[in-house]
């Protein structure tokens, strides 16, 4: 047995390139919590985006029940973590921390076996489609057009998403104006998606969806709060666009509730519990005849998505693309809107640029 020797977490906080906001939140920085799992002379990497508190949970609550276990038996380590967080609550920071550890353990296992991570599960496809995601409500028109047009016309990504629901749903006219601007920027053939981040009421979302039909909006993400299950169902049943949600899910019960009321289930591998839970959540969706979409963190989703048959696409999210391209050697770029792995590299195929990212470190560090 090769034991898991070390399990450390480090938080890095990276300022955004510009002020950013969606319908219900504004931010100017992003924190990546990186987990390193070591054993057998190899190091596996996993991460989540969230509070630096996730790093403290790794150190204080989770590492003690994972260290010393077999590096090859990832599900056993996951179950030990799931039991360990009962009293601190799995949904939220603990679930995010578990996800970072779980993905690091899969990366470690694949590196120990000398294979790309997707080879552990077997591939359902050799590439995954992505959609460009940004279009923040803080962007002036010229920047919105430049970002969206860049994805569609320069990068060949034929689907993009913008944020709407500005100021908690109180700027409907501006929302519609920006949807029109987005359509103008991408032309008539690319798919246009919107994300309200739960800013609207159900009837308001239905009215907005009907108004947005003029610009052929195909995807309406979180039209209402993801906690409003009845409202989500009302919207889904009334609109032409696909209704999508699921980005906050930390366990399979959450996804089971949501698959009853969406057209496409979003799953975030950095939140849901990791790669195995991502695939199990995709199975929950498959049992309802639904496809799934990876939420954010595209470099961490790639191998999980390759192993999952009912994947629609991954989110090429501006903030995380920028951070992951700065942080990791082996970063993959989509070609004509499709992301493919480098199968010559073991594990996730990513190596941390330690020296480059040290300036962003805000919590923990090597040698903890």
Positions that interact with Mg ion (CB under 5 A)? 195, 221
Task: Name the residue number minimizing CB distance to Mg ion.
Answer: 195
Q: Is 67 exposed, middle or buried (0-12, 13-18, 19+ CB in 10 A)?
A: middle
Phi, psi of 19 (to 5 degrees): -60, 140
With respect to Mg ion, which residue has the nearer C-beta, 195 or 319?
195
With respect to Mg ion, which residue has the nearer C-beta, 163 or 183?
163
Considering the complex, what minimum distance in angstroms separates the CB of residue 226 from Mg ion?
Answer: 9
Q: What angle do the packed helices 172-186 and 141-149 form, to 10 degrees?
A: 40
User: Could you give the residue ranges of the DSSP H alpha helices within 39-165?
Assistant: 53-57, 63-66, 74-84, 93-113, 117-121, 141-149
With respect to Mg ion, which residue has the nearer C-beta, 285 or 352?
285
Considering the complex, what minimum distance in angstroms separates the CB of residue 126 from Mg ion?
Answer: 27
With respect to Mg ion, which residue has the nearer C-beta, 47 or 131?
131
The Cβ of residue 196 has, within 10 Å, a number of other Cβ atoms equal to 27
Considering the complex, what minimum distance in angstroms separates the CB of residue 352 from Mg ion?
Answer: 27
With respect to Mg ion, which residue has the nearer C-beta, 43 or 197?
197
For the chain, how many residues are written?
368
With respect to Mg ion, which residue has the nearer C-beta, 196 or 352?
196
Phi, psi of 286 (to 5 degrees): -60, -35
Considering the complex, what minimum distance in angstroms separates the CB of residue 188 from Mg ion?
Answer: 25
Half-sphere exposure of 149 (CA within 13 A, CB side): 10
- Which is nearest to 24 in space by CA: 137, 133, 132, 131? 137
Considering the complex, what minimum distance in angstroms separates the CB of residue 161 from Mg ion?
Answer: 8
With respect to Mg ion, which residue has the nearer C-beta, 247 or 277?
247
Phi, psi of 308 (to 5 degrees): -115, 120
Considering the complex, what minimum distance in angstroms separates the CB of residue 34 from Mg ion?
Answer: 23
Considering the complex, what minimum distance in angstroms separates the CB of residue 244 from Mg ion?
Answer: 8
Distance CA 91, CA 72 (A): 26
User: Could you give the residue ranges of the DSSP H alpha helices within 129-201?
Assistant: 141-149, 166-169, 172-186
């Amino acid at each position: 047995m090769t034991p898991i020797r070390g399990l450390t977490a480090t938080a890095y906080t990276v300022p955004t390139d510009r002020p950013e906001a969606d319908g219900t939140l504004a931010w100017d920085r992003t924190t990546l919590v990186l987990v390193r799992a070591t054993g057998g002379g190899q190091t596996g990497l996993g991460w989540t985006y969230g509070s630096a508190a996730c790093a403290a949970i790794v150190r204080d609550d989770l590492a003690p029940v994972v260290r010393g276990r077999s590096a090859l038996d990832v599900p056993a380590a996951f179950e030990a973590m799931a039991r360990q967080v009962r009293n601190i609550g799995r949904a939220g920071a603990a679930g995010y921390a578990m996800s970072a550890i779980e993905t690091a353990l899969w990366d470690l296992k694949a590196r120990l076996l000398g294979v790309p991570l997707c080879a552990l599960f077997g591939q359902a496809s050799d590439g995954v489609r992505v959609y460009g995601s940004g279009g923040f409500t803080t962007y002036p028109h010229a920047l919105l057009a430049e970002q969206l047009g860049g994805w569609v016309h320069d990068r060949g990504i034929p689907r993009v998403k913008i944020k709407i629901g500005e100021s908690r749903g109180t700027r409907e006219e501006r929302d519609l104006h920006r949807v029109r601007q987005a359509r103008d920027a991408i032309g008539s053939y690319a798919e246009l998606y919107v994300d309200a981040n739960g800013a609207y009421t159900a009837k308001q979302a239905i009215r907005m969806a009907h108004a947005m039909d003029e610009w052929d909006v195909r995807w309406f993400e979180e039209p209402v709060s993801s906690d409003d299950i009845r409202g989500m169902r009302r919207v889904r049943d009334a609109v032409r666009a696909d209704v999508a949600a699921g980005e906050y899910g930390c366990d399979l019960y959450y996804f089971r509730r949501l698959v009853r009321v969406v057209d496409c289930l979003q799953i975030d591998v950095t939140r849901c519990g990791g790669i195995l839970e991502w695939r199990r959540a995709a199975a929950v969706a498959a049992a309802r005849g639904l496809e799934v979409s990876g939420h954010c963190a595209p470099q961490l989703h790639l191998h999980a998505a390759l192993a999952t048959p009912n994947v629609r696409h991954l989110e090429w999210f501006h903030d995380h693309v920028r951070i992951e391209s700065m942080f990791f050697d082996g970063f993959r770029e989509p070609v004509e809107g499709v992301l493919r792995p480098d199968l010559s590299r073991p594990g996730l195929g990513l190596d941390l640029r330690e020296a480059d990212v040290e300036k962003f470190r805000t919590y923990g560090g090597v040698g903890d």
